[in-house]
Every structure is written in structure tokens, then in C-alpha cells.
Amino acid sequence: MAKNIKKQDERKSNIPTEQETTKENTLYYEEGMTVQDVADGFEVAVTEVIKKLMGLGVMASKTQSIDRETIELLALEFEYTVADKQVTDVTRFDEIKIDEDEEDLEERPPVVTIMGHVDHGKTTLLDTIRNTTVTAGEAGGITQHIGAYQVIKNGKKITFIDTPGHAAFTEMRARGAKATDITILMVAADDGVMPQTIEAIDHAKAAEVPIIVAVNKIDMPGANTERVMQQLSEYNLLSEDWGGDTIFCNISALTGEGVENLLEMIQLTAEIEQFKANPNRLASGIVIESELDKGRGPVATLLVKNGTLKVGDILVAGDTYGKVRAMEDETGETLETVPPSKAAEITGLHEVPLAGDSFMVFEDEKQARQVSEKRTHRTWQDEKGVNQAVTLDALFDSFKDEDLKELRIIIKGDTHGSIEALKASLEKIEVEGTTIDVIRASVGTISETDVTLAYASGAIIIGFNVRPNAAVRDTAKEKGVDIRLYNIIYKALEEIKMALTGMLDPIFEEVVTGEAEVRDIFKVSKLGTIGGCYVTNGVINRDSLVRVLRDGVVVFEGEMASLKRFKDDVKSVREGFECGIRIDKFNDIKVGDVIEASIEKEIPRQ
């Protein structure tokens, strides 16, 4: 396949051209098409279509809609091909279905997922296959870096996706992405069909992926392959021996018996299904894994489904985008190009996409950025109200049903020194069975991007001497992202430690009630400086704690000395009104400062 890859500029774009969306003698199918629409598509009189329909035994008027199957039958009569209506909106690139010309298509390796009940031998089989076949990179014995690998059998490649459990597969399918071509359904012969076996069957069937049954552990004394066949027949998986059309392979993943045959059956299925792709197009495919790497930034394993991916390509993955900086295969080998059905780990994205996200290469960086921005906005709207975030208060409870107790933290602070000190101390916290992962630590105020990252990765945000503005606070609240603000390191460490041990007593929490902007300064010799302020949101109370923010950085924290409307002392001033604020022991107010007012409020434990 690789030999046919043309120069970069010869790879076709992923954005369907006018020509590609309006091929001759092609009817572009859309759901709900009426007889009239179909006639227009065929460029014939509607009566002709109605007549043909009658011939097929279908009575329909011109305004009635007809199903795709019937349209396909009609198309045969009118010598048309039926194709899906093309999506041309690039912000919905994951829905674009490129209608490749047959002559551009080349055979590609099948992508295989192994599913089945826990302990039925999935991991063992993947290990055995990897160790007994030549891996596509080098020969044998290589530590695998990414959740996919390729093996060569009879000179042909097979790609295995090796992401833990069904989660990835289920997730991907739930999100409409189809990574797999063939499913291996593993059933241990000594255990038989179990709940997760049935789940796996449901997923494979719903995804319309061919299933090959691997009856495992045939070396075990209690192995009963007939029983497995019997049980699976109840789910319409009837063995060829019994007159059905499902391939059953008896194997021992442990000893390797039957594994060669299983690989041959995979290749046989691939031959029948004829998996093809066009390598001479810009790549598109699916994110199968992703993480934020401390050194390398966002890292994603991409499975190329169509086209060829190259270093330097600009792509949108899910809602994020970037330029491919480097690519590696499962053996850690550096790659320049990645052909269809191959997975590679890439760096260069701006943020971490989600497993199951689609990706597509764009020619134009600006367009990619715009698409990414639009998609981020849309996802955000969709997710409003859905709270899957982590909070310190509920941390211990959420730990209870997880094996790996990890607290992810984003640190924002006023100086490099303070965030480094905080990060180092946090990472030193030792609470048995837990780990702390600081996924981002940088100087600056807490931004929307921080909140988005925290939300996507289930992290909390710690602000050290910095404060989020009202908009960021609202976003965090909407998404349920926990922002904790400190100005003393030990206080932060203490709270985190307590949260990890489940001993946190969040008795008091500071609640910001309002903000005022300093628009004028009055120096009064006996009193000090008074800020002529405008309340931009909420309410400012006379007994508030106040914080003076300059460009998002806390410059002073303390109490209010006086709050006045014109000449009168007042208890509170609401949004939209002006007031004079004097701060106890602080005379350095400047125009443009923001005065944040808060109160201490008792918060009941959740």
C-alpha cells in the first residue's frame, strides 16, 4: 500500500468537492425522501416512478416518502446508483462520508477488537498473538507503547485494538465512531456465556460488525465447547458445523493452540468483507486513546481509517486541533506516514481529545482552528447541566468504587516560584492508595481553558494568589468544576490531604457575593484613599471580606472600612449602582482594580 502514496499535495482533500457530491447518475439519499424527490433525482416524471412502484407492488402518491430499500430497487430500474447525501458542513466533519471511486480504493488490513467476559482470556490472547507472530515493526519481543498493534500473518497485516475492557469500544460506538471491522467474541469453555459475553454480542451486532467466536481455554479440564455453541445459538450465533454462518474457533490462548487458525479465519473474513481505503487522500479516522503527557503535552493514539497521515498535517480531533509534530508506532519507532488501518501515537494537538472522537486532516490551519472553536462551543452547549466533575468534598466517596485513586489537579498561581513549590509539595503528599497528578501548572489567572481541561479530565483547580473572574466562575459552576483558592501553601496541602483521607470538613466556604470596578480615586487626607466604584455584578455588603484584584492577581485581602452611596453609609450596594469603598489598611487602590466582596458561609457536607 505504502508504495502508492503520492506526494503530499496529491492527496485529495477530505472536504467533498462539488464534483464528488454531484456525480452523474447518482441519487443522493436523504431520510424522508418522497416519491417526487426521487423522481427529481432520477430526472424523470413522477408518474414514471409511481408506475415502477406499482410494478414493485408499492402503492404510493407523490408526496409519500419511501424507504431506502425501495429507492435502491427503483434505482436499478432507472440505472442510477444510490449514495448517501453528503455532509459538506466541515464543522460536522465526523459525519462526512466520502464516496470514493472504486479505482482509488486499495485493500487495507482488518481492524480487530477482542471482546468477552472478564477473565475469559482477552489479554492472554492479545499477548500470545503479539508474541507468536511477527509484529509489523520489528521481529518479536517488543514492549508495546500504544493501545493498538499490527501483526503480519501470511504476509498480510492485521491490526488489533487493545484498549482495556469494553469501555473504549462501547464509548466509541455510543459516539457513532466505528473503529472495528471484526470482533472476536471470547468465551471461556469452562465458564460459558456470561453477562459481559451477552453485552459484547449486543455491541457487535448493533455496530454491524462481523463476529468470530473464539472458544477459549480448551486445555482446561472442565472445558465444554459444545455447551458454548449451544448457549450462543440462543443469540443467533450458529456455528458452521451446525448449519449456521458464524465461525467458531476452539483455542487455548495460554498454550497457543488454535491461535494460528483463528488468525487465518480473521484473514478469511477480511477477504470476504473486502476492507478498502484510499491511501491517496488526507487522513481521517478515530482517536483510540489520549492523555496529557507531562513532557509532551496532549498525546493521542489515532487509528487512520482512510487516507494517509503525515507529519506536519493539520488536523481536528474531536473539538481540538493541531499540527502533527511527531508520530510513533507501537514499538516506539518514529513514523513519517501512517497508512489506512494503522494506529500511531501523535503529538502536536492543543488539547486532549476524547477516545472515540473522530479526527480529520484539513489543508488550512485557519479553517481547522475555526472548526475546533465552533465544535468546542457546541459540545459545551450540549454538556451544560451534565455534571461529571470531581469535587474535593465528594472526592473520598467517588474513590470508594474505583481501584486507582487519583486526584488530578490544575495549579494556577501568581509566580513561578509559588506554583513550583505548591506542585512539589502536593506531589509529595503520601496518602496510602492514592496518587496526585498535577496535569497543568502555570502562571496566570484561572481561565476558561483551565476549566474546560479540568472538566474533561476530571480535575480540580487550585488558584494560588489568583482568582477567576466572574465569567470563569460561572463556567466552573455550570460544569461543576471545583475551584479552590489559597494564599498559604500549607492550607492547600492540608485540605488536599484531608480530602484524600476522607476527613475533609468543609464547614465554611467563602462565597463571592459581588464585584465592583474602581473607576475613580479620591484621596481624603484624614481617611486615606476611597475608590469610586461601580458594582458590575452581584452585591457588595458593608461587612464583606474584600479582595483587590489587579489583572486577576490578588494585590490585597482584608476588610472594608466603609461603604457609601453619595454621602451616606449603606449596608449594601447592588449591581448597576455606584458607591465609594474604603478598604481597611490599604490605600493603594488604582483605577481599573476590581474589588471582590465575599462572605463566609457554612456549607453542609455532601
Is the CB of 253 or the CB of 504 nearer to ligand GDP? 253
What's 87's DSSP letter? P
Our finding on whether 124 is near ligand GDP (CB under 6 A) is yes
Is the CB of 116 or the CB of 307 nearer to ligand GDP? 116
Our finding on whether 100 is near ligand GDP (CB under 6 A) is no
Report the residue from 67, 84, 119, 509 that binds ligand GDP according to the rule CB under 6 A: 119
Binding segment toward ligand GDP, per CB under 6 A, in 147-155, 247-255, 402-410, 440-448: 247-255
Is the CB of 49 or the CB of 114 nearer to ligand GDP? 114
Report the residue from 194, 207, 254, 421 that binds ligand GDP according to the rule CB under 6 A: 254
- Cell numbers describing residue 66: 419511501
First CA to last CA distance, the chain: 58
Least Å distance, CB 182 to ligand GDP, is: 18
Is the CB of 110 or the CB of 116 nearer to ligand GDP? 116
Binding segment toward ligand GDP, per CB under 6 A, in 58-66, 215-223, 434-442, 519-527: 215-223
Is the CB of 122 or the CB of 412 nearer to ligand GDP? 122
User: Which has the closest alpha carbon to 286: 379, 220, 347, 360?
Assistant: 360
Least Å distance, CB 119 to ligand GDP, is: 4
Residue 551 CB partners (closer than 8 Å, separation 6+): 445
User: Which has the closest alpha carbon to 188: 228, 226, 232?
Assistant: 228
Is the CB of 122 or the CB of 582 nearer to ligand GDP? 122
Our finding on whether 144 is near ligand GDP (CB under 6 A) is no
- Cell numbers describing residue 165: 475492557
Report the residue from 121, 298, 307, 339 that binds ligand GDP according to the rule CB under 6 A: 121
- C-beta separation of 262 from 114 below 8 A: no
Q: What residues does 114 pair with on adjacent strands?
A: 184
Our finding on whether 214 is near ligand GDP (CB under 6 A) is no
Measure the CA–CA gap between 449 and 147, rounded to whole angstroms.
28
Our finding on whether 113 is near ligand GDP (CB under 6 A) is no
Least Å distance, CB 114 to ligand GDP, is: 8
Is the CB of 186 or the CB of 371 nearer to ligand GDP? 186
Our finding on whether 371 is near ligand GDP (CB under 6 A) is no
Binding segment toward ligand GDP, per CB under 6 A, in 238-246, 252-260, 313-321, 467-475: 252-260
Report the residue from 253, 299, 316, 504 that binds ligand GDP according to the rule CB under 6 A: 253
Our finding on whether 123 is near ligand GDP (CB under 6 A) is yes
Binding segment toward ligand GDP, per CB under 6 A, in 192-200, 217-225, 445-453, 482-490: 217-225
As a 3-state breakdown, the chain gives helix, strand, coil percent values, each rounded to 5, of 30, 35, 35
User: Which has the closest alpha carbon to 484: 446, 533, 519, 427?
Assistant: 446
Is the CB of 146 or the CB of 390 nearer to ligand GDP? 146
Report the residue from 203, 217, 473, 582 that binds ligand GDP according to the rule CB under 6 A: 217
Is the CB of 116 or the CB of 538 nearer to ligand GDP? 116
- C-beta separation of 114 from 126 below 8 A: yes
Residue 281: exposed, middle, or buried by beta-carbon count in 10 A (0-12, 13-18, 19+)?
buried
- C-beta separation of 596 from 510 below 8 A: no
What's 112's DSSP letter? E
- C-beta separation of 495 from 399 below 8 A: no
Return the sign of the alpha-carbon dihedral for residues 37, 39, 44, 46: negative
Least Å distance, CB 166 to ligand GDP, is: 10
Residue 93: exposed, middle, or buried by beta-carbon count in 10 A (0-12, 13-18, 19+)?
buried
Report the residue from 54, 56, 118, 507 that binds ligand GDP according to the rule CB under 6 A: 118
What's 261's DSSP letter? H
Our finding on whether 318 is near ligand GDP (CB under 6 A) is no
Amino acid, res. 70: T
Our finding on whether 219 is near ligand GDP (CB under 6 A) is yes
Amino acid, res. 416: H
User: Which has the closest alpha carbon to 215: 245, 247, 241?
Assistant: 247
Residue 313 main-chain phi, psi, to 5 deg: -65, 150
Q: What 3-state class would DSSP assign to 603?
A: coil
Least Å distance, CB 259 to ligand GDP, is: 9
Give one word for 46, left, alpha or beta, with left for phi > 0 and alpha for psi -120 to 50.
Answer: alpha
Our finding on whether 365 is near ligand GDP (CB under 6 A) is no
Number of residues that bind ligand GDP (CB under 6 A): 15
What does the binding site for ligand GDP look like in residue numbers (CB under 6 A)? 116, 118-124, 216-217, 219-220, 252-254
